[in-house]
Structure 1
Amino acid sequence: MTRRTVFRFHYTNNVTREFGNRFAEREGLSDTDFADRPDRIARLTSVAEDQQWANDLWHVARAVYLADRRSPREITVDKWTRTIDLSIQVREPDLWGPQQRTDLSSLLMMLTGDTWIIGVHSGANPPPALRLPDATEVALFSGGLDSAAYAFQRASLLDKNDKIVLVAYNRPLKDPPNRVFRDIEVLARRASGTVEMEQLGLSPRSGGRGWDSTIRSRSLLYIATAVCAAVNHRVDRVVIPENGQLALNPALTPARRSACSTRSVHPWTLYKVNKLIEGLGGGVTVWNPYLSLTKGQVSKIALDAAQGAGLGHEALERTVSCGHPTTARPFGVSHCGYCFPCLVRRSGLRFAFGDHPDATGYHFEPLRIDLTDPKNVRAVHIRDLSFWLGTEFTVDDLVADAPLPPGTNLNTVMQVLDAGRHELRDMLSDLVPATNIIRQPSTSSIQRTSIR
C-alpha cells in the first residue's frame, strides 16, 4: 500500500463537484457528502446576515470532519500522524485571517495529533433564512450520563419563561437515549418550563472501508452546531457538560498520551474554541459547568434531580456512556462494560447509588475477563486503569500531557482527579479481584483507537 505524507482536500457547500483548475490537485468534498435532512439543518444552522461567522464555523467544522475521516492513518509512515492540507469555501473569508487559521490549526492538532494547513476561500452559499423563538439556554446533549445530569438538573429548576434547547447528533435519535429525553420533559413540565431537542445527522453518505476510524475531530462539529443554534436562538453561551475526570482525561499510560486519548472537552480545547470564536467576532462562549466535579458527583446531581421529580434510578440507567455502543451485543444492552467510559460510568453510579445496585446492564463483567492475558483486547482498559491508579500522578504529569488555559486553578484540577481516582479504585475493588490484574500498561496499538 502506498504511504502518504500529505492529504489534500477542497470543501464547498455548493452542490457542484466542479472545483476548477485551482483545486485540481485536491480531492473534492462538499455538503452533499452528508445525509442531513434540510429541515434539521435549517433549524440548527440558520443565522442572521450579520452573524455569518457562526455558519462559516459550522462549514469549517464539517470540512474538517470529512477530511479527517478521508485521511486514513494506516497509510502514513508511522500509521498515525498525518498532514492534512484543507481549503474551505466560506461566506466571509476576511474573518479567517492568519491568526484565526493558526488558532484553528492549533485546536485541531490538540484534538487529532496531526498537522493541519487551513486555507479559506469565498463563494459559499448563504444558509436558509429562518428565525427561531428566543431560548434561555443551549446545551449539547449526547444521551450520556453527564449531559443527562445537566438536563435533569436544569429542567427541574425551570420557570415558565425558561426554554432550554438541547442539541444532539445521531445517537439520541434512537432509544434508549430518546427515553432519557422523555424523562427530561417530565422534569421540565413539572417545573413549568420548556425543553426542546434539536437533532442532526452526522453520518456521511458513503464511507467505512478505507476511512479513518478515530473521528477525533467530530467534537468540533458538535460544538460548532451548538454555537450556530445559540446564535439563532439569541443565546450567548453553549453548555457542554462533562465531568472533570473525563474532560481532563489524563493519559493512563505513556502509550495514551496526547491525541491518543480523547481531548473533546479538555479545558484547553474549549479555551482554543472560545479564542477562535472571539477572533471571528462572535459573542458566544462555550462552557463546561462540571469541570470541577467527579463522575460520582455528577451522577449524584442527576439522581437527586430525578428523584425530586418522582423518577427513580432507572432514569440514570437509561443513559448511554459506552465508548463503542454500536458493537453487536444482546438486544437492550448498550454498554460493553469494559471500555474506559464504561468503567468511569460504573464508578460514578456506584458513588451515587450507594447500596442500590446498578441495573444498567453490561455485556461483559470485568470479573469474567481474563486480565492476565496480554492478547485479550477486552482487558486493555482495565489493565491500564489499574496501572494508572497504582502510579503516583502529579501536576507535572497532567501539564506534560496537555496544556491548561491561563488562570487554571491547579489545586482544583488535581482535587477532582484525586477524588475521581478514589471512586475508580473503589469500583475496581468491587468488580475485579486484585490477583487478576497485571499491573503494567498494555502495549497494543488498540489504545490509539478505542477511546473516542
Structure 2
Amino acid sequence: MINLEITIEDGSRDNNGLLNMSIKNIEMNKSSNVSINMVQIFKTLKFVPSEKSLDILFFAIYVHLIDNLLPRDILAVDNWQREIRIKVPVSEPLLWNNSKQIIVEALDFLTGDEWNIEFYELSEKYFLNDELDLEDTIQVENICLLSGGLDSLVGAIDLIQEKDNILFVSHFDGAGANLNDQKDIFDIFQSNTSKNINLSQFHVYDGEAFYDTHDGNLRARSLLFLGFALFHASNFNVNRIYLPENGLISINIPLNESRTSSNSTRTTHPYFIKKLQDFLISIDINVEIVNPYQLKTKGEMLSECQNKVLLNSLINKTISCSHSKRKEPWTRRTGIRNCGYCISCLIRRSSIYHYGELETVETYGVNLDIHELKLDKTTKPISKVPTDVLALINFLNKKYELSKYEREIALIANIDNMEETAKMLDRGYVELRKYIDDNASDEIKRLLL
C-alpha cells in the first residue's frame, strides 16, 4: 500500500493566485510539488473560480500526477495493480466523503489500481487575486475538449457548425499536441467563423520524482482533461461538456490477453464516464459529459464531418500517435508527427483511407513494409516496432462475429447500446482490414487470413 497525502506547503501562491500544493509520500517523507500553468486564464477569461470548481480541478490534477509518480514495475506485485491510499483536502469534505465510493470505483476502472481515498477540510482558500479585472467576462454556452488530435478536430468543427459561444479547453504535455499545435488549430477555426469561440489551455508539471522512473501509461490523463473542462463548466454555468472520441478507441477491447491491462486504456470508456457522471451529480455538479461519436468509427467521423474543406486543411496538423516523442525506430523523422504503426496511428490511417477525400497523403515515420517494420528477423537489433501491427493482424484473423464482440465488451464492463456498439466495432475493424489489405507490402498482407 502506498500512502500519500495532499498538503499545503507554506501557504504560498502561484502567479494566478492559486494555492501551492504538494503530494507527500508518507513512508518516504518526500514531497512532489503540484505546478499548474494556466495560460493567461484569468486575464483572458476574466472570472473568479468557485471553491467547488477548484475542488474537482485539483482532484483531477492529483490523480493524474499520482498515476504518473508511481511506477508500476516497482510498486505493483503483478507489475500492474497498485494499492494507493490518499488523503485529499476539499472545501466540502462531508459531501465528498459521502460519495467517495463512486469515484473510487471510477478510478479503479480507469487506472486498474485499488484506490482508497479520504477527504478532509481544506484549511485555506484555493484562490486569492485582488488585482483581477472582471469587466467584459466572456460568454460561454458550450464547452468542448480540443486536444490537438484528429477526433477532437472533427468534434470541434461539427460543434462550430451547430453551436455558438463555445469554449475549447486543452491540456498540453509531452504525450501529444503541444501548446502551439492546439493554438494554431484554434486560430484557423477563428479565422473561418464569425461565431464567438474562445480557447483555454493549461499544463500540469510533474514535481520531484519519488522514484528513479515515472509510470508511462498515463491512464488518468482523461480525468485531467475532464477536470479542466468541468472547472470551466462550473464557473460559466454550462451544463454540458463535449468529449469527441471515436467508439473503437473508446471501447478499446484488448487485442490479446497480454494487452488486457497496460495496452488497453479506458480513458473515455462509457462505463468510466457514467461513474464519473454519477459522482458529479452526488457532489452537486450537474454537468453532462457527452461523446457524440460513441457509436461511430473514426472513418465515419471523418466522412460525416460537417465542414470537409476545413477538415482537409487541418488533418495533417493533428497528432494521433502514442509514440510521437519516441522516434528512434522511425524510418522518417524530420517534420513527421505520427509514427504510423501504433494502434492509434493504424486507426488514423485506416480512417483517412476510408474517408478518401484527401488530395495528398500524409507521411508517417514507419510504413507497413516488412523492412521498415523490422519484421526481418535477421536484422540486428530486432526492433519492438512491429508489436502493435502483429497484435492487430492476429486479432483481425480471429474474425469475430457480433456475439463475440458483445462478450468481449461485457468482459470489460456492462454498457448501454451493447448491440449497436458491437456493430460499430465490427465496422471499425473492417476499416482496418481494408486499409492493411490495400496498402501494406505483400509480406504484411500475407499475414492476414
TM range (shorter): 0.7 to 0.9
Return the letter of the residue paired with 2:239: D
Return the letter of the residue paired with 2:138: P
Any gaps of 5 or more consecutive residues in structure 2? 13-19
CA distance in 1: counterparts of 2:44 and 2:31, whole angstroms: 23
Return the letter of the residue paired with 2:316: E
Q: Which residue of 2 aligns with 1:273?
A: 276
The alpha-carbon distance between structure 1 residues 235 and 426, as it changes in their structure 2 partners (threshold 3 A), is same
Structure 1 residues 225-278: Cα deviation after superposition (integer angstroms, max 9, x where no partner): 100111112110111000111111111111111454110001111101101101
Deviates more, 1:277-286 or 1:170-179: 170-179
Q: Which residue of 1 aligns with 2:55?
A: 56
Find the residue that maps to 1:80 and give its secondary structure: coil
Does the alignment pair 1:418 with 2:426? yes
Q: How does 1:13-412 map to 2 (within 5 A)?
A: 15=10, 25=27, 27=29, 29=31, 32-37=33-38, 39-40=40-41, 49=50, 52-75=51-74, 76-98=76-98, 100-128=99-127, 132-158=137-163, 162-171=164-173, 172-188=177-193, 192-207=194-209, 209-258=212-261, 260-302=263-305, 304-307=306-309, 311=310, 313-328=312-327, 330-354=333-357, 356-359=359-362, 361-367=363-369, 368-371=372-375, 373=377, 375-393=382-400, 394-405=404-415, 408-412=416-420
The answer to whether the 8 A contact 2:53-2:232 is kept is: no
CA distance in 2: counterparts of 1:84 and 1:46, whole angstroms: 35
Any gaps of 5 or more consecutive residues in structure 1? 1-5, 441-452
Find the residue that maps to 2:214 and give its secondary structure: coil
CA distance in 2: counterparts of 1:125 and 1:176, whole angstroms: 36
Alignment match of 1:431 (pick from 435, 439, 444): 439
Q: How does 1:441-452 map to 2 (within 5 A)?
A: none
Deviates more, 1:128-137 or 1:233-242: 128-137
Tell me the CA shift for residue 177 of structure 1. 3.8
Return the letter of the residue paired with 1:343: L
The answer to whether the 8 A contact 2:251-2:266 is kept is: yes
Deviates more, 1:337-346 or 1:251-260: 251-260
Task: Say how many residue pairs are matched.
Answer: 416
- Answer 1 or 2: which has greater helix percent: 1
Tell me the CA shift for residue 36 of structure 1. 2.2
CA distance in 1: counterparts of 2:285 and 2:239, whole angstroms: 9
Alignment match of 1:8 (pick from 3, 6, 14): 3
Find the residue that maps to 1:33 and give its secondary structure: strand
The answer to whether the 8 A contact 2:254-2:260 is kept is: yes
TM-score, normalisation: structure 2: 0.84
Percent sequence identity is: 25
The alpha-carbon distance between structure 1 residues 90 and 126, as it changes in their structure 2 partners (threshold 3 A), is same
CA distance in 2: counterparts of 1:45 and 1:91, whole angstroms: 22
The alpha-carbon distance between structure 1 residues 295 and 38, as it changes in their structure 2 partners (threshold 3 A), is closer
- Answer 1 or 2: which has greater strand percent: 2
The answer to whether the 8 A contact 2:151-2:245 is kept is: yes
Find the residue that maps to 2:386 and give its secondary structure: helix
The alpha-carbon distance between structure 1 residues 120 and 373, as it changes in their structure 2 partners (threshold 3 A), is farther
Return the letter of the residue paired with 1:401: L
The alpha-carbon distance between structure 1 residues 198 and 366, as it changes in their structure 2 partners (threshold 3 A), is same
Deviates more, 1:235-244 or 1:58-67: 58-67
Superposition RMSD on alpha carbons, in Å? 3.0
The answer to whether the 8 A contact 1:84-1:115 is kept is: yes
CA distance in 2: counterparts of 1:283 and 1:14, whole angstroms: 32
The answer to whether the 8 A contact 1:163-1:193 is kept is: yes
CA distance in 2: counterparts of 1:58 and 1:378, whole angstroms: 37
CA distance in 1: counterparts of 2:138 and 2:181, whole angstroms: 29
CA distance in 2: counterparts of 1:340 and 1:44, whole angstroms: 37
Return the letter of the residue paired with 1:305: N
CA distance in 1: counterparts of 2:300 and 2:49, whole angstroms: 39
The answer to whether the 8 A contact 2:45-2:138 is kept is: no
The answer to whether the 8 A contact 2:240-2:287 is kept is: yes
CA distance in 1: counterparts of 2:434 and 2:110, whole angstroms: 31
Tell me the CA shift for residue 23 of structure 1. 9.0
Deviates more, 1:198-207 or 1:379-388: 198-207
Find the residue that maps to 2:204 and give its secondary structure: coil
CA distance in 2: counterparts of 1:234 and 1:411, whole angstroms: 35
